[in-house]
């Protein structure tokens, strides 16, 4: 699993729970999303993360519930769920990088590409 | 009539075979002169037939012209139209342009025509089969690169063709180097890699088109000496395909040239937020969302996390929460581990140049640098050991595959050094040196592929000098001298 998937798959985002959610709330939220997904409700199909919108699946919900049942793993996820909104709506940090001059197709005139 | 036809056919066949036999370090060589003599005789015969009103004489003169200027005919007519078989056949007898390796030249012609034809499998297989022969010269690197380009693997094509540009002296056919330099320049211009293009040195084999592209690149990036408008115009006028480069010239003329700023330490811009934890998450999310993250952003994220981890309110909150959950491990340590894993992954994926800086050995950036350096070193050792083991067990590959192995190991080493710095270079060189030296010695002593082995020794010598490894310098100086 890469860094993006790791964060986007944070169980608190998948279950749309606050960091203070109790064990019972986790179970209730999990069952709710599973039922909604089974009914094919559009509202249940996606969830929001700081890295954008992701698809919610029954497997993801079950994995999220399992992650939050284990206190060790839950503690690892909690510091990463403070942000709930996508990062794209937050002002990006200033960047000093510049794109420079765009390219020019020199392969064609010099006949290095397909005719 | 029949006798004359047989004589003409035999004469043309003989002229082709004499051209095929040619492989001289200078031109015209013995075979080149012999070929011209035969062709001159055939031209006289063809001319007299035309004067006698025999139209067959015109066909004879056409074939004679083709055999006299094989590269010009292939380059002008056959390659642009994708006639790879005819291009290969004709260039195989080249005794002037490809006087030093017309076997390689013919492969280049076939591969280039195959690129133009859209990469027909029969053509690519034909070129690859011939590249597998052990007596291939350096020109086959260009042919192999063009085959990779025809298959759409431009990254591999850049590696192959770029490696040919490093050959110097008589090890590489002059035309092969000229074409390789042109391909590299055209590819860099197409990608917009102007800085890379501007770094191409004024090489003796650079042709007019490549020189013009380098001049434009120098203007765009402000690399000294920045060409003036008049110099750009002059360079453009010497390009045969100048009409198609007019738009690029106009862009270069409009570009306000200014000298490039000297390398300076880039300071990361801190993300301002009252809550350092939130600020770190925002910066982290932006870094992961960025399609092409750069070093400045990564440094900003590392600094933001350093501030968050130094914030007592955040650390107390996290530790209190861990106590409430009755966890055994240190929550701050596991947060650091996850954070390091993310940043190392971003740095590796984006091939970010993190460098080495003892002043920031501590903190997130220092940890990320150390972890990255260790991983790169581990990977390099795996690749180097695999090569060394194969050489020891004498499991030979075709010469172009051996060269690919060399380029892979060298590329892994160079990429690791570029991402980190001289400390890793000194640690990595001994293991790369051992493997590549073993391969080069095997190629030189047992397999007689001296062109490739010599090039490997030259590269090892240059790296040994950078690492100031006295023993390796002495060894490779001797090895390089053997190939002169």
Nearest residue in chain A measured CA to CA from B315: A79
Q: What is the structure's pLDDT at A89?
A: 46
- pLDDT lower than 70: segments of chain B: 134-136, 201-202, 257-273, 358-361, 484
Q: List the 3-42 stretch of A: residues with Cβ below 8 A of B.
A: 3-4, 6-7
Chains A & B: contacts with CB separation below 8 Å = 147
Q: What is the structure's pLDDT at B355?
A: 79
Asked whether the beta carbons of residue B192 and residue A2 sit closer than 8 angstroms, the reply is no
Nearest residue in chain A measured CA to CA from B325: A71
Mean pLDDT across chain A: 84
Residues in chain B with CB shorter than 8 Å from the CB of A96 are 266, 269, 296
* Domain residue extents for chain A: 3-89
Asked whether the beta carbons of residue A114 and residue B329 sit closer than 8 angstroms, the reply is no
* Tens digits of residue pLDDT in A68-115: 999 999 999 999 988 766 555 444 444 433 446 788 899 999 999 888
Q: What is the structure's pLDDT at A96?
A: 37
Asked whether the beta carbons of residue A76 and residue B331 sit closer than 8 angstroms, the reply is yes
Q: Is A54 part of the contact surface with chain B (CB cutoff 8 Å)?
A: no
Q: What is the CATH number of domain A3-89?
A: 1.10.287
ipTM at complex level: 0.81
* Tens digits of residue pLDDT in B154-175: 988 998 898 888 887 777 888 9
Q: What is the structure's pLDDT at B359?
A: 63
**What HEC string does chain B produce?**
CHHHHHHHHHHHHHHHHHHHHCCCCCCCCHHHHHHHHHHHHHHHHHHHHHHCCCCHHHHHHHHHHHHHCHHHHHHHHHCCCCCHHHHHHHHCCCCCCCCCCHHHHHHHHHHHHHHHCCCCHHHHHHHHHHHCCCCCCCHHHHHHHHHHHHCCCHHHHHHHHHHHHCCCHHHCCHHHHHHHHHHHHHHHHHHCCHHHHHCCCCCCCCCHHHHHHHHHHHHHHCCCCCCCHHHHHHHHHCCCCHHHHHHHHHHHHHCCCCCCCCCCCCCCCCCCCCCHHHHHHHHHHHHHHCCCCCHHHHHHHHHHHHHHHHCHHHHHHHHHHHHHCCCCCCHHHHHHHHHHHHHHHHHHHCCCCCCCCHHHCCHHHHHHHHHHHHHHHHHHHHHHHHHHHHHHCCCCCCHHHHHHHHHHHHHHHHHHHHHCCHHHHHHHHHHHHHHHHHHHHHHHHCCCCHHHHHHHHHHHHHHHHHHCCHHHHHHHHHHHHHHC
Asked whether the beta carbons of residue A75 and residue B209 sit closer than 8 angstroms, the reply is no
Q: Is A73 part of the contact surface with chain B (CB cutoff 8 Å)?
A: no
Nearest residue in chain A measured CA to CA from B82: A115
Q: What is the structure's pLDDT at B257?
A: 67
Looking at the partner chain, which of A75, A93, A111 has a beta carbon nearest the beta carbon of B283?
A: A93
What percentage of chain B has pLDDT greater than the value 90? 48
């Amino acid at each position: 699993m890469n860094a993006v998937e790791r964060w986007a798959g944070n169980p608190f985002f998948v279950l749309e729970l606050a960091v203070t959610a109790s064990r019972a709330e986790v179970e209730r939220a999990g069952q709710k999303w599973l039922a909604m997904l089974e009914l094919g409700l559009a509202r249940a199909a996606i969830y929001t993360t700081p890295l954008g919108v992701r698809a919610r699946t029954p497997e993801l919900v079950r994995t999220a519930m399992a992650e939050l049942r284990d206190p060790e793993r839950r503690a690892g996820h909690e510091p990463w769920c403070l942000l709930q909104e996508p990062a794209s709506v937050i002002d990006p940090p200033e960047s000093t990088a510049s794109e420079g001059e765009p390219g020019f197709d020199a392969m064609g005139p010099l006949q290095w590409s397909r005719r | 009539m029949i006798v004359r036809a047989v004589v003409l056919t035999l004469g043309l066949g003989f002229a082709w075979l004499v051209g095929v036999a040619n492989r001289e370090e200078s031109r015209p060589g013995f075979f080149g002169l012999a070929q011209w003599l035969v062709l001159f005789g055939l031209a006289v015969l063809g001319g007299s037939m035309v004067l006698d009103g025999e139209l067959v004489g015109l066909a004879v003169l056409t074939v004679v012209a083709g055999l006299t200027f094989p590269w010009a005919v292939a380059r002008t007519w056959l390659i642009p139209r994708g006639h790879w078989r005819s291009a290969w056949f004709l260039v195989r007898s080249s005794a002037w342009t490809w006087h030093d390796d017309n076997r390689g030249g013919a492969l280049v012609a076939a591969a280039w025509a195959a690129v133009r034809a859209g990469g027909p499998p029969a053509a690519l297989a034909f070129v690859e089969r011939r590249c597998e022969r052990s007596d291939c010269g350096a020109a086959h690197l260009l042919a192999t690169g063009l085959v990779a380009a025809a298959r759409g693997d431009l990254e591999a094509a850049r590696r192959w063709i770029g490696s040919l540009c490093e050959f110097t002296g008589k090890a590489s056919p002059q035309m092969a180097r000229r074409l390789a330099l042109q391909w590299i320049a055209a590819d860099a211009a197409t990608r917009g890699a102007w800085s890379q293009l501007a770094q191409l040195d004024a090489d003796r084999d650079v042709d007019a088109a490549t020189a013009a592209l380098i001049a434009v690149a120098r203007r765009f990036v402000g690399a000294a000496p920045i060409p003036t408008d008049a110099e750009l115009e002059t360079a453009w006028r010497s390009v045969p395909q100048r009409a198609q480069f007019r738009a690029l010239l106009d862009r270069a003329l409009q570009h306000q040239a200014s000298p490039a700023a000297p390398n300076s330490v880039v300071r990361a811009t801190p993300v301002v937020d009252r809550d350092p934890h939130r600020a770190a998450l925002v910066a982290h999310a932006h870094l992961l969302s960025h399609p092409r993250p750069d070093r400045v952003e990564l440094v900003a994220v590392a600094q933001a996390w350093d501030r968050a981890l130094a914030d007592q309110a955040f650390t107390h909150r996290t530790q209190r929460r861990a106590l409430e959950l009755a966890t055994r491990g240190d929550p701050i340590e596991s947060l650091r581990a996850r954070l390091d894993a993310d940043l190392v992954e971003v740095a590796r994926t984006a091939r970010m140049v993190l460098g080495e800086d003892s002043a920031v050995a501590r903190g997130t950036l220092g940890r990320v640098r150390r972890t990255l350096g260790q991983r790169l070193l581990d990977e390099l050792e795996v690749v180097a050991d695999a090569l060394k083991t194969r050489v020891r067990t004498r499991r030979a590959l075709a010469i172009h595959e051996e060269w690919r192995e060399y380029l892979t190991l060298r590329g892994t080493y160079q990429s690791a050094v570029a991402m980190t710095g001289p400390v890793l270079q000194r640690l990595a060189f001994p293991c790369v040196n051992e493997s590549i030296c073993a391969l080069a010695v095997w190629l030189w002593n047992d397999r007689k592929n001296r062109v490739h082995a010599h090039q490997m020794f030259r590269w090892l010598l240059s790296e040994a000098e950078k690492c100031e490894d006295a023993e390796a310098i002495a060894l490779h100086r001797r090895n390089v001298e053997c190939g002169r």
